[in-house]
Chains A and B, each alone.
Chain A
Amino acid sequence: MAESDDALVAAVAEGDAAACRRLVDRHLGRLLAFAQRMLGSRADAEDVAQDAFLALWKEAGRWRPDGSATVSTWLTRVTYNRAIDRLRRQPSVPLDAVPEPPDPAVGAEAGVQRARVSRRVAEALAQLPERQRAAILLSHYEGQGNREIGEALGVGVEAVESLLARGRRALRQALAAERADLMGDV
């Protein structure tokens, strides 16, 4: 049976290198993806994800599993807060740093079209208000429930419902004109 995150954090506090590795394997990929989609910059996303784990290493000795926050939610919250700090310092998401689109080599014309559409979605995401963007990302890519998203973002469940609805609507409306492109290759 896989060890719980709480058990791994307790082992981290004792300097267990294997426990550190397991926590990183379990969470780094999703935190990095979340940060990159929030920030639009790979380098910034790596810094943010690294900061989150460094914060966990520091917190490990004081970690008390009490049911109020899971390790996963705690890491997401730290990543989100660090990402927001970066966005406040450098609010515009560089367009040359949006997430990688699918490989156009898959099929010449269809691949190019799909890559263009993906880039457009990335731009539309980047234009969403920060909390709407975070809610959409956590819901779509991580399948998190509204309660979990609320804990990560520091807002209530009703606020999450509103964030998701407004975010989805904004994306849907932004992409309405491109619907034919989007569906043409799926």
Chain B
Amino acid sequence: MGEMTLDRFLDLLDGHGPVIDRWPAPDRDAAEALLAASPAARSAMADAKAVAVALNDLRVAAPSAALLGRILDAAPRPRRWFAELLSWRPAVALAAALVVGVYLGTMVPTVQANDDDWSTLGYTMAYDSSAMGEAP
């Protein structure tokens, strides 16, 4: 086991905290030896422990019910199919209009014009004229 310098001891103290059991295993025995022999090492160790004690004393009050309420009030709500549908209202309206349009289109009878239709129409017009008393 080599001797540990005070600088090395302080580096380990600040790097790992005041519990020597948490320091790297190869350094622990030398650190304990220096601690026993060096008032400066003991003083630094005492300061580090004092810091830990003081930090433990810095308490923070538990969250208030008001804070809890604000956070939970903003939480996502359960999904409901009707609400989902409403959120898609413009798209749903367009789709519905499309469906109705196609349906109505299929229900109206289709009329196709051909030559016979036009001749029939001409005959009808001539017939209607005579019926009104005009000269044929």
Name A residues whose Cβ lies closer than 8 Å to a Cβ of B.
12-17, 20-21, 24, 28-29, 32-33, 36-37, 42, 46, 49-50, 53-54, 57, 60-61, 98-102, 114, 117-118, 120-122, 125, 136, 139-141, 161, 164-166, 168-169, 171-173, 175-176, 178-179, 182-183, 186
Contact = CB atoms under 8 A, between A and B. Distances in A.
B36 interface: no
Contacts of B52: 140
A182 B62 contact: no
Contacts of B75: 12, 15, 17, 20, 57
B48 A172 contact: yes
Tell me the dominant secondary structure on chain B's binding face: helix
Given A165-B15, A169-B14, A101 B58 contact: yes
* A contact patch SS: helix
B60 A36 contact: yes
Given A14-B79, A15-B79, A140-B52, A101 B57 contact: yes
A15 B76 CA distance: 5
Interface residues of B, number: 37
Interface of B: 10-11, 13-15, 17, 43-44, 46-55, 57-64, 67-68, 70-72, 74-79
A97 B77 CA distance: 36
B115 to A, nearest CB: 65
